[in-house]
Amino acid sequence: MNFLRQFVLWLSRWIDDAALAILAIVNAFRPTRKFQAIEQDGVAFVVKASRRRSARPIVGATLRFVEGKFVGDESAKIRSQLAGGQIELVLARRRFVFRYLELPTQAAGFLDAIIRSQIDRLTPWSPAQAAFGFDPPKQTSTGRIGVVVAATARSALTPFVVALGAFKPSSIVVSAAAEAGTDERRTIVFSQEADRELSMRRLRRVLAAAPVLAGLAALAAFAARLQVGADLEDTQLQVSRHMAERRAALSSGRADVLENATAKLAQMKRESPPSVIVLESLSQALPDDTYLTELHIVDGKLEITGVTREAASLIRIIEQTEQFKNATFFAPTTRAPMETGEQFHIEAQLVATDPAVP
């Protein structure tokens, strides 16, 4: 039981890591439109489309934050532009508490953990209650590093984040505005990816189902191999039995028995091609996007059922082989409910062979 529990935990961690890696790769190659909603005096916000080095205002894009909602004369137009993009909400500096920390140079790689552990001493809020961020550290004249921490209550940001969610962005970032007249960057204190959890859940389901599907495919391949092997063995036994009858006829000198046995054997070879030959011919003729779910050989006639991308083209493909003729649909072609192709039902006559009699 302990081994099983450890295996399940390892598999769960592997699925989470794989899902995170896939999301990171997708986000790296997917272009994201970025916008800024910059707080002005009062309750007004100017919406700008961000570029690599600048932000260009959107014509008529001014919003007001009233009763927990962003409203404006062109709110419907702005909503369509912001949907699916990244929105950065730049709040005025008056909404934040700024603290300066001077730390040893060795602390540069652990700033987040150090500041989080001291946030209740620097601000009126606990780490769970605070939304905080910090500027890149700078070297001081004493050989240490100086860091400016910006913080505010998480509850103060919640109304803005909820209101921005109505625009259906891919992610939301909240930052403190840079100090006027300086080249300082904005300080990010909060970020949220709106569809991250949904994407993670979907990827987890897909990755969890992958081993199961692989196991089922392996079982199906093993079962098919057993079936083909059994058919081949039966065919070999029949041929061996008829060959024994022929040898007995030759040794006894009864020509009529010999001729009857030879004719019977030739007829069986003509009318009943070995299943292995039929399967080999089908595997070579059918396209790669086609697979079979049923196969029957009865009285010199082949009946197959399966799924393919274009069922109509299979008739011509099957009749072009040397093993089949008179191919036709014996049931209507339908769209497979759980597949991406068409489900077909085709029958064809097996071409009789006339092997040389030794």
356, pLDDT greater than 50: no
Lowest mean pLDDT among 11-15, 156-160, 182-186, 229-233: 11-15
CB 134 within 8 A of CB 111: yes
Q: Which long-range contacts (CB under 8 A, 24 or more apart) does 115-122 make?
A: 115/147, 115/149, 119/149, 119/151, 122/97, 122/149, 122/151
Q: Which fold has domain 274-350?
A: Gyrase A; domain 2 (3.30.1360)
List, for residues 92-117, the tens digit of each pLDDT value: 999 999 999 999 988 888 999 999 99
CATH of 26-204, one of 3.30.450, 3.40.50, 3.30.420, 3.30.750: 3.30.420
Point out the least confidently predicted range of 52-66, 157-171, 178-192.
52-66
- pLDDT-above-90 percentage for the chain: 20
**Per-residue pLDDT at 175:** 94
User: 148-160, pLDDT tens digit by residue?
Assistant: 999 999 999 999 9
Looking at the DSSP bridge assignments, the partners of residue 46 are: 38, 62
pLDDT of residue 59: 47
Digit-coded pLDDT (tens) for 129-138:
999 999 999 9
- What residue type is assigned to position 145 of the chain? I
Checking if the pLDDT of 128 tops 60, the result is yes
- Name residue 302's beta-bridge partners: 297, 348
By DSSP bridging, strand 34-39 and strand 86-91 are parallel
Q: Quote the pTM value.
A: 0.48
Tens of pLDDT, residue by residue over 1-23, are 577 777 767 777 777 777 667 76
Element (H or E) spanning 263, and its range?
helix 255-271
- Domain residue ranges in the chain: 26-204, 274-350
pLDDT at 141 over 70: yes
